[in-house]
Chain A
Amino acid sequence: MLDELLTRPQFSIPQEEKEALLLPRLGELVEHHRDACAGYRRILDALPDGPGRGLSDLPYLPVSMFKSHLLQSIPDDEVFKVMTSSGTTGQAVSRVVLDRTTADLQARALAAVMTTVLGPRRLPMLIVDTPNVVRDRRTFSARGAGVLGMLSFGRHHTYVLDDDMAIDVGALERFAERFSGQPVLVFGFTFMVWKYFHQQIQRRGLDVDLSGAVLIHSGGWKKLQDEAVGNAEFRAGLERSTGLRRIHNFYGMVEQVGGVFLEGPDGYLHPPNFSDVIIRDPVTWAEAPDGQVGVIEVLSTLPRSYPGHVLLTEDLGVVHGAGSPVTGWAGKKLEVIGRIPRAELRGCSDTHAYASAS
């Protein structure tokens, strides 16, 4: 039986009601993981007892825990797969242990989120990437995994870039001709959509009409910061070059697959019914008031096979209040600022300098 948080339309539950629904479920997950995961139990045993009244009182794990420790809440013979995060060579990667139940739940959850903007049917899909991003398993990357994860929401998968990141004009034209006037899905990583799609269309003066399309993009703004491109410029630019208006950024991580936050028409990222977000002040670790920048904590009722239900990320963000169910976009309004800037620490050991250089 599926939880009502999954069956009710996503982004439809008023924040107060949502918190009331999440609290007992997440509280139960805390107890479940305390019983089932020795490492998690040791952490909880060491921490002082909190007041335990609201979502912000639930114990949270720093995501980096999944880089250093394999934390699982299932016996070994129930492990269905171990997902790993991206990471450049030499860097530690996160390892997230899934059983069938959690993997199924994640897939259903992701579908529930995506269908709110895509509709129930699979749409013809344009992928702003090269076909080799999913073909070559040896160089399989986070980008490849991201594309692969989205493929199930589309049909007639058409890759629009070649290996030199040049637009394959022929493929684009054939796609446009065939699905002209129909809703289509465009997917790509934020910086690739901007740099290799939008900018190239403008530079080459290509005539591209995607006014009936939905663009889903993800990956963060870091690479676009140098060009001073934020969400507003991104949206305006794409509308100019392609006519795209229905644009949804999403925010998610391998440690909480399925619980993706989706951008609403207000430009903010909204957690789905079964997820929530809390901003913490890194000086006190207390919940920061709306409007204040802090470290993003994400909560999700999905993770049963590993203790990833309440995670402190390494991203900075701001919550700008909650959306209204009337608009179809209830839930908190999150703005992701980006990764926490690296610390400039002193000390005697240069390990990192050489590790990153070699």
Chain B
Amino acid sequence: MTATPIEVGTAARVEVVLPEPANRELTPLLAEFATAPTSRPFSPEALDFCADLARTLARRARHLPEVQALAFWMRRAEVTRLAEAFAAREDDATLLVPQGTVFHVPPSNVDTLFVYSWLLAVLTGNRTVVRLSRRSSEASELLLDVLRDRLGEHPRVRDSTLMLSYGHEQSITDALSAACDLRVIWGGDGTVDAIRRSPLPPHATDVTFADRSSLAVIKAGAYAALTEEARDRLVVDFFNDAYWFDQLGCSSPRAVVWVGDEVQCAAAGADFFPRLQAQAVRKGYAVDAASAVAKLGFGYRAAVDQQITGYEFHGSALTVLSVAQFPAIGGEFCGAGTFFQYRTAELLDVVAGIGRRDQTLTHHGFDRAELRELAVALNGRGIDRMVPFGQALSFSHLWDGRDLLQTFTRRVTIGAAR
């Protein structure tokens, strides 16, 4: 299971961030790391480490909601549930084993994602190499600080973890790729293209997370039936889905599709967006000048390329572009509070507009049978997850249509003689 690191011609050096900060020559570092042991998936050490990390983060990051969400996701009860679900996949004839060395390339601008990706690989018993972005934020600094501190108490996890920082030198990516059994590339199309230039060993595979886009559907009749308070609650959920990562998370909705008759949908939209604007103001959501100009440019380009029937500027945090055709939401996007608004008579009408890039459908007012009917009609055309308002950004090991616990492990079948 040990992959041999290839020689790096220029004796390249990297900054080791974790477990201990050091400037190291890459080749001996990788040779050393390849001897670190792997673990049984969901080992007691890994579970303890998660629980410990969750407690510490919950305490130290009270002011950072995205870190709180991360801590909640890895708390003991949750990880134990994950362990049980995992155990159910094994039986006398099936053993799940780690892939070996997993090389993660997380995105530079969702501060918490590297921890999710890394922890799932740790839980499944792998050695993990993480390429950290040089860009730092309060959340990422705090995360690294807490990790450094907690890893000291969990030698088994510490020895199988390597977090590195380097620029975009391909020779280093080449060496890390050649030394892994599984490469996990987040960061969208550009990063996937760049990292794929580095070959993998023949047995290894890539897990790629391409650029994705997401949308929300609301049954106008259900919205009309809500009380004032319930509408405000729905808007708060929607605000969190959309604005948490400046509307640039792949799961953040870019469009609101109203389902119902024309009068009902128009009334619902006219009620919903002013509430959203008020929520943005309450939360003090600020748009800087560059984003404001980018939003303007995006709206104007959309007006040329799509049939915009209404361009509503609800202050700097919210622009609503009403469209007569199903909106094209893929591709470059300005974020920071720009929504297409579209009306359709039936939920199933959206099928024709959905494409492979579409990831998350946040919904309100539809029951499971209706959503299932939509999923059947889509049949893989697009949409990997359907979640109620407020859960767009809730990370799960089921992501982009993949089960990461399965991806991070291999299945050994044990056939005994009868």
Contacts and interface: CB of A to CB of B under 8 A. Distances in A.
Interface of A: 39, 42-43, 45-48, 61-62, 64-65, 68-69, 282-285, 295, 312, 314, 316, 340-355, 357-358
B190 A351 contact: yes
A4 to B, nearest CB: 33
Given A349-B188, A351-B189, A351-B190, A39 B316 contact: no
Interface in B260-315: 287-294, 296-297, 300-301, 303-304, 308-313, 315
Contacts of B77: none
B168 A350 contact: no
Contact of A295 (B133, B211, B289, B309): B289
Interface string B154-178: 0000000000000110000000000
Given A64-B297, A69-B301, 5 more contacts: A43-B300, A341-B290, A347-B335, A351-B190, A354-B193
A69 B300 CA distance: 11
A97 B321 CA distance: 29
B212 interface: yes
A349 to B, nearest CB: 3
Contact of B248 (A39, A43, A61, A347): A347
B110 interface: yes
A350 B208 CA distance: 13
B249 A347 contact: yes
A64 B311 CA distance: 18
23 contacts: A42-B303, A45-B308, A64-B294, A64-B297, A65-B301, A69-B304, A282-B289, A283-B316, A284-B316, A314-B290, A341-B290, A342-B290, A346-B109, A347-B247, A348-B186, A348-B250, A349-B248, A350-B191, A351-B211, A354-B168, A354-B191, A354-B193, A358-B168
A65 B316 CA distance: 20
Contacts of A350: 107-109, 187-188, 190-191
Contacts of A282: 287-289, 292-293, 316
A43 B288 CA distance: 24
B245 interface: yes
B293 A295 contact: yes
B7 interface: no
Contacts of B290: 314, 340-343
B248 to A, nearest CB: 2
Given A282-B293, A282-B316, A348 B110 contact: yes
Given A65-B301, A282-B316, A354-B168, A348 B291 contact: no
B11 interface: no
Contacts of B256: none
B22 interface: no
B316 A348 contact: no
A348 B248 contact: yes
A305 to B, nearest CB: 18
The 6 A-B pairs at the shortest CB distance, nearest first, are namely A347-B248, A349-B188, A351-B190, A350-B187, A46-B308, A343-B290
A62 B300 contact: yes
Contact of B190 (A43, A344, A354): A354
Nearest to A342: B290
Contact of A343 (B190, B250, B291): B291
Interface in B169-226: 186-191, 193-194, 209, 211-212
A351 B331 CA distance: 11
Nearest to A43: B303
B336 interface: yes
B246 interface: yes
